[in-house]
Amino acid sequence: MTRKAVIGGIGHTEFGRFPERTAFDLEVEAARRAVEDAGLRPDEVDGLITDPGPAQGILDGITPHYLALGQYLGIDPAYAGSDILGGASSAAIVQRAVLAVEAGLCSVCLCVYGDSALSSPGSFGYGRGDDAAFGLFGAVGLHALAARRHMHRWGTTSGQLAEVAIAARAHAMRTPHAQKRQPLTLKQYQAADSIVEPLNRHDCCLVSDGAAAVLVVSSDRAADLRHMPTRILGHGQASSLSTWSSPGHFDTLPAARCGPEAFARAGVSTADVDVAMLYDCFTIVVLMQLEDYGFCERGEAGAFVAEGRIGPGGSFPVNPSGGLLAEGYGGGMMHIIEAVRQLRGIAGERQLDAPEIALVTGHGLGMNTHSTLILAA
């Protein structure tokens, strides 16, 4: 029988500002919680793949992140590595874990994201190579270029971007561990300081200290798991590495390529998606993904999100945990964890009505990378 991979455990820390804790401290806690959640023993972990957060990278120029974390965890895995795809890394490392487990390289693969970005000033405000000479700092500048084009080409309004931010904060009010649990009004959104026009403070995700982990397990261990396993129906990954000098770079994401591939592998369609966990580092990225995945026609995402459609109680809830904009910056791993919670039916006050299919996305670097997971109860 072919080995299938499932998600067997989830775990995470609180998200917020914890200057007294290192990223490794947070990551070890998340890893321990994920293994406990699965009901497995630490010595059964035989795979480790990590998503080092933006503040970490390669630690000292020599030591890769997984090596240091594996040392702290005291494990000797059969399969190990780190992937650096920016915000696409979390879903990408889970994809890699699925491939490794299904190929028989390991059976219990720990996937860990962690960072202490809030306690590491400037970690998101870095210059972009030589383009720093022109003041291009932070991911926000590139996303502002994309937002400006979307507004210009399609008439998308700041009020439509606001819908994404307002929905995220409304969702997060029902997420006990969320970093921002206060509602956001349109008036507050409009009054906020601009960061890089056309994006203001509320268009930008939170910065957090925190860690999250997912345990990818071979289905032949399903009987040993404490909770109902989450199936992985499909996965995909695509990158656009030919730089932003390429035509169309700021108009579409690699999601337009790997999204349809992932759905084809899963044997389901966008119409089957009950819960959409869309990577939301900036509001504009949610709109672009709605188009790139085909939830609406190109140029119509602004109208798609209007009138609370993606908020709590809306007809197409996006990121019921609040996502990066309100739950906290959890790489993309917290998006996966919320999908698992929704599919298990343990999301508490924010639980959707028996969702069966979840889409999880990751998006990273200079809008260069994208990853897709399609999960099922």
Binding site for another protein (CB under 8 A): 121-122, 124-125, 127-128, 130-138, 141, 144-146, 148-149, 152-155, 193-198, 207, 242-247, 250, 298-299
Look up residue 352 and give its two tokens: 């959707």
Instruction: CB nearer to another protein: give 272 or 300.
Output: 300
71-77 own/partner pairs: CB under 8 Å, 24+ apart:
72/24, 72/27, 72/28, 73/28, 73/31, 73/42, 73/45, 73/48, 73/110, 74/42, 75/42, 75/43, 75/45, 75/48, 75/110, 77/45, 77/46, 77/47, 77/48, 77/106, 77/109
Nearest to another protein of 193, 353 (CB atom): 193
Smallest distance from another protein to CB 196, Å: 5
Nearer to another protein, 145 or 166 (CB): 145
* Active-site residue flag, 329: yes
- Relative to beta strand 357-364, strand 275-277 is parallel
Residue 60 or 130: the one with the smaller Cβ distance to another protein is 130
Angstrom distance (rounded) from CA 193 to CA 171: 23
CB of 252 to another protein, least distance (A): 11
Report the sign of the C-alpha dihedral through residues 23, 345, 286, 271, in that order.
positive
* CA-angle at 339, arms to 337 and 343, nearest 5°: 115
Dihedral pair phi/psi, residue 368, rounded to 5°: -95, -30
Using DSSP, state whether 94 is helix, strand or coil: helix
- From the candidates 113, 189, 279, 293, give the one annotated as an active-site residue: 279
CB of 322 to another protein, least distance (A): 21
Nearest approach, Cβ of residue 164 and another protein (Å): 18
Residue 53 beta carbon to another protein: minimum distance, rounded to whole angstroms: 15
Residue 231 or 249 with smaller CB distance to another protein = 249
What is the sign of the dihedral through the CA atoms of 25, 319, 54 and 194?
A: negative
Dist. CA 334–CA 79, nearest whole Å: 23
The residues with which 370 forms a beta bridge, in sequence order, are 238, 363
* Distance separating alpha carbons of residues 244 and 122, to the nearest angstrom: 23
**In terms of CB distance, is 62 or 133 closer to another protein?**
133
Q: Cα–Cα distance between 91 and 153 in angstroms, integer?
A: 30
Q: Please, what sign has the CA dihedral across residues 191, 164, 27, 341?
A: positive
Nearest CB to another protein, comparing residues 17 and 149:
149
Q: Could you give the CA distance from residue 35 to residue 38 in angstroms, rounded to a whole number?
A: 5
Active centre residues (catalytic): 279, 329
